[in-house]
Amino acid sequence: MSTPRDFQEYESKWQKAWEEQGLYHASQPGERKTGEKFYGLIEFPFPSGAGLHVGHPRSYVAIDVLTRKKRMEGKNVLYPIGWDAFGLPTENYAIKMHVKPQDATAANISNFRRQMQSMGFGFDWNREVNTTDPAYYKWTQWMFLQFFKSEFDASTGRAVYVKDREAPVKENRSEERGARSEGNSPRPTPHAPRPDRMAYKSTTTINWCPSCKIGLANEESIGGVCERCGTSVEKREKAQWMIRITTYAERLIEDLSKVNYLERIKKQQIDWIGRSEGAMIDFGAWGVGRGAWEDQIIRVFTTRPDTLFGVTYVVLAPEHPFVEEWVKSGAIKNADEVKAYQKETTKKADVDRTAEGKDKTGVKLDGVTAINPANGEEVPVFIADYVLAGYGTGAVMAVPAHDRRDFDFAQFYSLAIKEVIKLPEGVTKKQVTRGTGLGNWVGHPIEFQITDALGKILGFEYQNLGATCHDCPGTLINSGTFNGLQTEDAKKKISSWIEEQKKGGPTVTYKLRDWIFSRQRYWGEPIPIVICPSCGYVPVPEDQLPVLLPDVDSYEPTENGESPLAKIRSWVETTCPHCGGKAERETDTMPNWAGSSWYFMRYCDPHNDAAFASPEALKYWMPVDLYDGGMEHTTLHLLYSRFWHKMMWDLGLIPESVGSEPYKARVSHGLILAAGGEKMSKSKGNVINPDEVVGEYGADVFRCYMMFIGPYDQHAPWDTNGIEGVKRFLDKVWRLFEEERGARSEEREDQTVELETIYNQSMKKITADIDGLAFNTAISQLMILTNAFTDAGGVPENMVEGYIKILAPFAPHLAEELWSSDGHRSGSVHMSGWPQYDASKIVSAVFELVIQVNGKVRDRIQVASDISEADAKAKALASEKVQNYLAGKEPKQVIYVKGKLVSIVI
C-alpha cells in the first residue's frame, strides 16, 4: 500500500521554509547574484472585501511558472506583488459599514496575502507595495507635481520642465475645452496665453455619474454608462485637473513598434487613440454682425476634403461656443428655438444621443449662413446633436451626397443634395445596396463628368473608375468622386489648395481626450496643490510631501459634487507656500489609475525614501520583460502607464537607457468562467472560492489545474471533474516515488531506450511550451511522461532529477518534497538548474512510415529512421496493400516526405 500524499503537511512546511530562506528574493544590482535579470509582472490586484477570485490566480500561476523556470536557469528574477488599494469600492464599503477605508483596506490586504501565500507563489514579499501607504503615495504626489511643473514642447514632442518650477499658475479662466489636441480647439484663435502645463486645471464638460457622484474619464464612461455602476452618465461643467495625454497621442501609437505586445492589444490601443487624417477648412460666417464675412470663421474638420464642392450646409454641435455668442449678439433670429434645442441636448445622456438609427434632429440658425471657401457659395447653418462637441472642431461641413449621416439629416429637412460628380443628362442612377457609404451609384451609360471647379483644382476633367456594379453591367461611381489612390490624391490636392488659400489645411485629429485626473472623493491621493486667492495654483513644496489624507469620520460624497475633503475645514485651510497668505488646499483626489501608473518602478527599489527608485535600480530592472494583464485594461491602465512612463522619461527622471516604453512584452489571459460557460457572479451563485479548492486539493493540484484548463489566452469554464483528473496525475507522480521505484531494478534494455526518447522529448517540449506560454500542452506532456514511467514501473535513476526539476515550476511543493526526501540532495530544487535534454536521443531508431495511395492512408510499415529515399519508396511499393491498388500498373508519381510518408499516385 502506498502512503497517501499529505499535501497539507508538506505544502505549508515548504512555504515556511522558502520564506525563511528568502528563496524568492531578488538581488539588487551589485548584490550577490550575477546572472541576467528577468522581470515578470502581473497586474497588482485591488484588494476587495470578497477575497481573491479564482480568475486572479490564473495569471499569477502562469507567470510564476515562467519565472520559476527563469530562476532555475540562473536568472536573477524579480516577481513582485502589491496592492492597488485606493478606489471607490472600498470607500463605498466604508460608508456603508461605518468603518475607515484604511482599516477595511488593511483587512482585505491581509486576506489576499494569506490566500496568495497558500498557493505557493514565488513572489518577493520583501518588495510588497501598497498605493495607499503614505510612503508610496508621497511619490505619486511628487510625480503629479513634476507634471504640473512641466509643459509640452511641440518642437521636440516631449514634456520639459518650465523655467521657474516653483512658480504658481494663475487660474485659467479661458473656455478651453478638455478635448484639446493640435488643431482640436473649437476656437480657431485662442485668445489669452494659456499655461501649457502637462497637468492643468480646466473647466470642462465631464461625464458625471449621478450614482457614484464622481467625474469619469472618457475611458470610464463606456457606451454612455458608468463603467463601475452602469448608471447613465450625465454631462456636467466642472473645473477638473487634467493631464495632457493628447500631446503624446502620436508617440503612443508610434512606439508600439518598439514593443512585443499581442497584435490585438496593439490594435485596440491604436483604435482608442483614433488617429484620423483630414483637413481643417474655414467657412466664413455671414450675418453674425461682423462687417466682412472673413471676420468670423467657422472652422470645420473633415476627412473628405475632396467633397468640398458638394457641401450644402454646415452643422455646429449644439454646445459650440459660437451658438451662445450669436444668440447673445442677436444674430440668430430664432433664438428661443435654438435655446430650447440646446437645453434638450444637455439633458440627454450620451447613450440616447449617439444611439444609431436614431432620427437626426437639429435646428436651423436663422440669420446666419456660411460661405464655402472653395466657390463662395452661401449655405445654411444648423445645430444638430449628431455633431459632437468634443471631436474635431465641433463643426462639420455637410455633404449629403457622400455621407450617410448628412444624407439622413438632409432627407429629414429636405436640404439640397449635391454630388461632386455630375452625371450626364439622361443617366439613370440607383443606389447600390452593397459597398461602403451612401455614395455608390450606378450610372448608365459609363461616362460621367466631374464639376469644372473641382476638375481644375485636381488638374483633370474626366475620370473613369472602371469598377462594375454588383447587380448590373453598369459602371460604379465611388462614394467619393474617385476610388483607391485617386481619392487619396484628390484629398491631398484639395487640402493643399485650401492651405494655399489660407483657409485651413491638412491636419490630424485624435479621438483620445485629455485625461481627467480629478476625483471628488476621499479614498485617493490628495492632489498636492494649494489654491491661493492671489497667487493661483501653488505646488506644495516637495519637502512637505506627502500631503496626508486627513483622518475623518464621514466619507459621504457631497451633493454639490465637491470632495468629502472639502468639509474638513481644518485640513483645507492652510497658508500659501508662495506668499504666505491664507489659502486652501485642493480637495480633489487622484483616480486610482495614478498609483498603478508607476508601481512597476517602485518594485525596483521599494524601500527608497529619497527617490521613487534609484537610477541604478531602474537601469538594472527596467523595462519589464513580460507583463500579463486583462484585456479590460488595454485602453485604461496600459495606455496611462505607458504615457506616464514616457513623461517621466522625457523629464529625465528615468535613465535614458531604460527607453521610452515600460514593458517589453504584454500578454493577456482568458477569464475563468463558471461551469456553464457563463461569467462567475455572486448573484448567479456560481462562484468558485479558491480557498476551498486549495483546502481540498492543495496548492499544487490547483496550480496544475489552472495551467491545464485550456489555452492560456482563451476563456475557460471551470470543471470540477477536470480538477479530479489533475489530482490523479499528481497522486501518480507521488506513487512513482513512494512505492514502485524499487521495481525498476530489473530494467529492460528496449524499455530504457524508449524511456530515454520520451524523456528527452518531454524536456524539450515542456521547456519550449513554458517559454511560449502553452501551459496546457506542457502539463499534458508531463502526464505522458508520468504515464510512461508508471508503465515502466518506475523512474530510471538518471532521469529522476530532471523529472523532479521539470515538475517544479508547476507543482513546487511536491517537487521540493520529492527532491529532499532522498536525503542525499542538498538545497532547493527551485535553485537546482534547469534540466537539459540530449537531442540525439529524441529521435527513435525506427519510425512508422505511412503509405498513401491517391492521398489516402493505405498502409503503415516500421522502417529504420535513417532509411534512404530509394529504399523507402521501394518498400512502400512492395507493400501488399499497395500492390492490390496498383493491380500491375505503374504508379504515375511517387513522393517521399522524409521521416513521414510515401505518397503514391496511380
Partner RNA sequence: GGGCUCGUGGCGGAACAGGUAUACGCAAGGGACUUAAAAUCCCUGGCCGCAAGGCAUGUGGGUUCGAUUCCCACCGGGCCCACCA
Within 372-401, the residues that bind RNA by CB under 7 A are 385-388, 391-392, 394-396
Q: Please name the residue that has the C-alpha cell 523507402.
A: 872
Which one of residues 58, 71, 360, 645 is an interface residue with RNA (CB under 7 A)? Answer: 360
Within 750-809, the residues that bind RNA by CB under 7 A are 774, 776-777, 779-780, 783-784, 787, 790-791
Within 495-514, the residues that bind RNA by CB under 7 A are 509, 511
Q: How far is the CB of 820 from RNA (least distance, A)?
A: 25
Q: Please name the residue that has the C-alpha cell 518534497.
A: 817
How far apart (Å, rounded) are the C-alpha atoms in residues 542 and 528?
A: 9
- For the chain, the first-to-last Cα distance in angstroms comes to 60
Q: Which is nearer to RNA, 397 or 458 (CB)?
A: 397
Cell numbers describing residue 216: 469619469
Q: How far is the CB of 171 from RNA (least distance, A)?
A: 29
Interface segment toward RNA; rule CB under 7 A; list 24-32, 291-299, 351-359, 527-535: 351-359
How far apart (Å, rounded) are the C-alpha atoms in residues 32 and 845?
A: 46
DSSP 3-state of 143: helix
Cell numbers describing residue 207: 461625464
Q: How far is the CB of 457 from RNA (least distance, A)?
A: 18
Angstrom distances, CA of residue 865 to CA of 206, 322, 857: 71, 83, 20
Within 182-241, the residues that bind RNA by CB under 7 A are 222-223
Q: Which is nearer to RNA, 289 or 793 (CB)?
A: 793
* Cβ neighbours for 693, distance < 8 A, ≥ 6 positions apart: 54, 702, 723
Within 642-661, the residues that bind RNA by CB under 7 A are none
Interface segment toward RNA; rule CB under 7 A; list 269-277, 333-341, 424-432, 518-526: 269-277
Q: How far is the CB of 450 from RNA (least distance, A)?
A: 20
Helix intervals (H) in 709-748: 720-738
Q: How far is the CB of 715 from RNA (least distance, A)?
A: 7
Q: How far is the CB of 296 from RNA (least distance, A)?
A: 19
Residue 268 near RNA by CB under 7 A: yes
Q: Which is nearer to RNA, 85 or 693 (CB)?
A: 693
Within 620-639, the residues that bind RNA by CB under 7 A are 631, 635
Q: Which is nearer to RNA, 268 or 832 (CB)?
A: 268
Within 830-869, the residues that bind RNA by CB under 7 A are 847-848, 850, 852, 854-857, 860
Helix intervals (H) in 181-306: 249-254, 263-273
Of 472, 464, 506, nearest in space to 488 by CA: 506
Binding string, residues 276-315; x marks residues near RNA by CB under 7 A: x-x----------------------xxxx-----------
For 477-502, give one letter per residue: b (16+ CB within 10 A) or e.
Answer: bbbbbbeeebbeebbbbbbebbeeee
Which one of residues 170, 267, 328, 684 is an interface residue with RNA (CB under 7 A)? Answer: 267
Number of residues that bind RNA (CB under 7 A): 83
Q: How far is the CB of 556 from RNA (least distance, A)?
A: 31
Helix or strand (DSSP H, E) at 668: none
Within 314-333, the residues that bind RNA by CB under 7 A are 317
Angstrom distances, CA of residue 143 to CA of 89, 217, 663, 804, 841: 25, 20, 19, 47, 57
Q: Which is nearer to RNA, 184 or 369 (CB)?
A: 184
Residue 722 near RNA by CB under 7 A: yes
Cell numbers describing residue 522: 476621499
Binding string, residues 78-117; x marks residues near RNA by CB under 7 A: ----------------------------------------
Q: How far is the CB of 141 from RNA (least distance, A)?
A: 30
Interface segment toward RNA; rule CB under 7 A; list 142-150, 522-530, 831-839, 896-904: 896-904
* Cβ neighbours for 500, distance < 8 A, ≥ 6 positions apart: none
Q: How far is the CB of 644 from RNA (least distance, A)?
A: 21
Of 773, 665, 772, nearest in space to 266 by CA: 665
Q: Which is nearer to RNA, 522 or 712 (CB)?
A: 712
Work out whether the CA dihedral 602, 606, 608, 609 comes out positive or negative.
Answer: positive
Which one of residues 126, 329, 501, 714 is an interface residue with RNA (CB under 7 A)? Answer: 714
Amino acid at 405: R
How far apart (Å, rounded) are the C-alpha atoms in residues 427 and 438?
A: 18
Q: Which is nearer to RNA, 141 or 767 (CB)?
A: 767
Radius of gyration for the alpha carbons in the chain, expressed in angstroms and rounded? 34
Q: How far is the CB of 574 from RNA (least distance, A)?
A: 40
How far apart (Å, rounded) are the C-alpha atoms in residues 682 and 379?
A: 58
How far apart (Å, rounded) are the C-alpha atoms in residues 814 and 700?
A: 7
Q: How far is the CB of 119 from RNA (least distance, A)?
A: 20
DSSP 3-state of 677: coil
Residue 671 near RNA by CB under 7 A: no
Beta-bridge mates of residue 384: 362
Beta-bridge mates of residue 442: 430, 476
68: how many CB neighbours lie within 10 A of its CB? Answer: 26
Q: Which is nearer to RNA, 340 or 351 (CB)?
A: 351
Q: Which is nearer to RNA, 494 or 658 (CB)?
A: 494
DSSP characters over 583-608: EEE---B--TTTGGGTHHHHTTSTT-
Q: How far is the CB of 317 from RNA (least distance, A)?
A: 6
Q: Please name the residue that has the C-alpha cell 506583488.
A: 81
Interface segment toward RNA; rule CB under 7 A; list 77-85, 262-270, 531-539, 836-844: 262-270
Interface segment toward RNA; rule CB under 7 A; list 68-76, 124-132, 713-721, 801-809: 713-721
Helix intervals (H) in 585-715: 599-602, 615-621, 637-650, 690-697, 699-708
DSSP 3-state of 534: coil
Q: How far is the CB of 388 from RNA (least distance, A)?
A: 4
Residue 893 near RNA by CB under 7 A: yes
Of 888, 895, 903, nearest in space to 854 by CA: 903
- Give the CA-trace dihedral at 345, 347, 350, 356, to 10 degrees: -60
Which one of residues 210, 274, 506, 561 is an interface residue with RNA (CB under 7 A)? Answer: 274
Q: Which is nearer to RNA, 610 or 870 (CB)?
A: 870
Query: Is the separation of the CB atoms in 829 and 836 below 8 Å?
Result: no
Q: Which is nearer to RNA, 55 or 528 (CB)?
A: 55
Q: How far is the CB of 280 from RNA (least distance, A)?
A: 11
Q: How far is the CB of 903 from RNA (least distance, A)?
A: 3
Q: How far is the CB of 243 from RNA (least distance, A)?
A: 19
Amino acid at 111: N
Within 556-585, the residues that bind RNA by CB under 7 A are none
How far apart (Å, rounded) are the C-alpha atoms in residues 45 and 121?
A: 15
Interface segment toward RNA; rule CB under 7 A; list 266-274, 339-347, 485-493, 812-820: 266-274
Q: Which is nearer to RNA, 232 or 614 (CB)?
A: 232
Q: How far is the CB of 753 from RNA (least distance, A)?
A: 18
Which one of residues 103, 719, 739, 797 is an interface residue with RNA (CB under 7 A)? Answer: 719
Side-chain-facing half-sphere of 644: CA atoms under 13 Å: 23
Which one of residues 333, 732, 841, 875 is an interface residue with RNA (CB under 7 A)? Answer: 732
Q: How far is the CB of 321 from RNA (least distance, A)?
A: 14
Q: Please name the residue that has the C-alpha cell 518588495.
A: 127
Q: Which is nearer to RNA, 531 or 726 (CB)?
A: 726
Residue 668 near RNA by CB under 7 A: no
Q: Please name the residue that has the C-alpha cell 487660474.
A: 171
